[in-house]
A and B are shown apart, each in its own frame.
Chain A
Amino acid sequence: MRKTQAIASILGVLAAASSTVDAHHSSQAEFGPFGSETIYVEATIVGINWTNPHISIDVQTTGGDLPAAENWRLVSHPTRIMEEYGLQRGDFAVGDRVKLHGWTHLRKQPLIWPRAIQVNDGPMRSNLRFTDMIDIANGVFEAMNIVAPLNLNGSPPERAGAETVEKLRAMGLLDEDGRMIWPPPEGAAAADD
């Protein structure tokens, strides 16, 4: 009886341990680092969930790096942060065409985090300022024709990484408080690369 209890206890502990968890709930944990490679997707909006804690937009692909006619869900910030980026609920409608650069989910879930998104023939608008900062520091942002978000100017860049902070400082793009200055002031240095 005692032996049976011991085995039951061990198995119970093993069963409990099997459900331990080890990841983190953040966009980088789910979609990769801010500076990682993106894919390009063209799609049509088929549904909009402009709700907290994360807005989502359902799309069916029409072209780009994903096969056509697939269902994918774009996920992004809470509604308040979307508005701070300058993206409003009214900017999107079912049936709109979208083009976007984004990251697919690392665990092969049908999710995309848009790095930048264009609706119909509008501008390609940023949806992740820390990636903008990395691209600005690397001197490639302006060539990408992505419109910087409203909340880029004045944002602390630490989450974009120490290397980016140093580059932005060297380029004269950080103010006295270490916050981003954009567009670049007169006389700001260009990135080396």
Chain B
Amino acid sequence: MKQVLISAVVAAIVSFAVLQVDAYYAEAPGDRTPAEPTEAAAPAASPAWHVTEALVEDGWVDAARTAGADHKPLAHAENSICYLTKVEIKGIQSAADANSCSIGIDDFTGFWQVTAEVEEGGSSEVRCNARCLVWGEEP
């Protein structure tokens, strides 16, 4: 019960914060930057930030078929922050059936990427979802 209450409170705080930030950016630019009249005169600006969607399986490995690491680029790290939103693991057969979800920046592409991995020898299934807060570009 305590965990449910804590979860609800955390969700409420996060939601409230998101709504407040959204409301803040929804205001006319001039309302918050009175010193910049050119911005105030501009037509409706494009969204300052947005959150990407999560796919069913951004990263997905079904080791019953084939083990390994599935990497999925998410958004360019230059103007985003990404975070895991879901970790789903099924069919663990033993303590050695190691799997994971992780998120990091891929040096080659410059994108955040989410990685689902089941190590060789494992037979479980892991699905990882992620979303990104992206600023400065159209959704």
Contacts and interface: CB of A to CB of B under 8 A. Distances in A.
B8 A23 contact: no
B66 A78 contact: yes
Interface in A59-118: 71-73, 78, 80, 105, 109-111
Contacts of A5: 8
A14 B9 CA distance: 13
Contacts of A29: 55
A80 B66 CA distance: 10
Given A11-B11, A52-B66, A53-B61, A21 B109 contact: no
B16 A11 contact: yes
B67 A19 contact: no
A12 interface: yes
Question: Interface residues of A toward B: which range?
Answer: 20 to 34
Contacts, number: 83
Question: Interface residues of B toward A: which range?
Answer: 35 or more
A12 B4 CA distance: 10
A21 B11 contact: no
A58 B74 CA distance: 17
A15 B67 contact: no
Contacts of A105: 73
A12 B66 contact: no
Nearest to A109: B73
A39 B105 CA distance: 27
B120 to A, nearest CB: 9
B73 A15 contact: no
B129 A12 contact: no
A27 to B, nearest CB: 13
Given A21-B129, A71-B108, A109-B111, A7 B12 contact: yes
A53 B66 contact: yes
A53 B62 CA distance: 8
Interface of B: 7-9, 11-12, 14-16, 51, 53-57, 60-62, 65-74, 85-86, 108-111, 129, 131
30 contacts: A8-B8, A8-B11, A8-B12, A9-B8, A11-B11, A11-B15, A15-B14, A16-B11, A19-B85, A19-B129, A19-B131, A21-B53, A21-B54, A21-B56, A25-B57, A25-B60, A53-B60, A53-B62, A53-B67, A54-B70, A58-B108, A71-B108, A71-B109, A71-B110, A72-B109, A73-B73, A78-B66, A105-B73, A109-B73, A110-B73
